[in-house]
């Protein structure tokens, strides 16, 4: 995909991590996380960082849609475009069934919304939130939510509400892990991701 940052491993990868950055960051923001996870996983991994489609209004970084105030009208087309980009990965040697989608903050909201409509191995939302009026589909991939208890940007209640929505009417796993800390992804969260990704891809 020409609009992506790709980190390939050797020998040829058998699974993929797709990384969605937060508001004001860029595609390379989560690539160190992808590298750290790949080093601990028992598979050869491709890491793909996708940039959000819009420039951030502050002049640096990018956004999936406008925030502060939230441009909620733009969510549906943004999610649809992201789903198309992810579906295009099905034409590559690594299928969606061997792909885990990981997003942080605004990217976490996008990962859960778009990823739950696709046949992925799993979805991870870090400091994520649910989009207004979003209803989780009954059939979806398993989801892991991670959130700092002292997050002042996206309150931890946002992930609790998201878990409740994901569990309503669906028997597919949705785990929520809280940890000390703020709007970040600490080592403790990385360890939880490694464990969950390993179980999904085994």
Q: Which two tokens stand for residue 88?
A: 């295009």
Backbone angles phi, psi at 161, to 5 degrees: -65, -40
Residue that wins the pLDDT comparison between 143 and 92: 143
Q: What is the largest CA-CA distance in the chain?
A: 45
pLDDT at 53 over 70: yes
Helical packing angle, 31-40 and 187-201, nearest 10°: 60
Closest CA to 19 of 107, 98, 78: 107
Neighbours of 69 (CB within 10 A): 6
What is the C-alpha separation between 40 and 25, in angstroms, rounded? Answer: 25
pLDDT at 1: 44
pLDDT at 170: 82
Residue ranges covered by each domain of the chain: 5-201
Fold annotation for 5-201: Rossmann fold (3.40.50)
pTM (whole model) above 0.85: yes
What is the C-alpha separation between 26 and 60, in angstroms, rounded? Answer: 9
Q: Which of 5-14, 130-139, 189-198 has the lowest mean pLDDT?
A: 5-14
pLDDT at 20 over 50: yes
């Amino acid at each position: 995909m020409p609009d992506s940052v790709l980190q390939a491993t050797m020998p040829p990868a058998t699974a993929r991590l797709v990384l969605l950055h937060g508001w004001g960051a860029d595609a390379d923001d989560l690539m160190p996380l992808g590298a750290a996870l790949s080093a601990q996983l028992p598979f050869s991994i491709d890491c793909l960082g996708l940039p959000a489609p819009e420039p951030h209004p502050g002049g640096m970084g990018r956004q999936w849609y406008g925030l502060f105030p939230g441009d909620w009208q733009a969510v549906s087309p943004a999610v649809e475009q992201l789903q198309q980009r992810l579906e295009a990965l099905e034409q590559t040697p690594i299928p969606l069934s061997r792909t885990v989608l990981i997003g942080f903050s605004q990217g976490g909201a996008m990962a859960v919304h778009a990823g739950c409509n696709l046949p992925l191995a799993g979805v991870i939302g870090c400091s994520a939130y649910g989009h207004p009026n979003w209803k989780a589909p009954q059939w979806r991939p398993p989801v892991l939510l991670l959130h700092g208890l002292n997050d002042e940007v996206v309150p931890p209640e946002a992930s609790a509400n998201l878990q409740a929505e994901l569990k309503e009417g669906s028997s597919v796993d949705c785990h929520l892990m809280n940890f000390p800390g703020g709007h970040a992804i600490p080592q403790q969260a990385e360890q939880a991701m490694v464990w969950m990704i390993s179980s999904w891809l085994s």
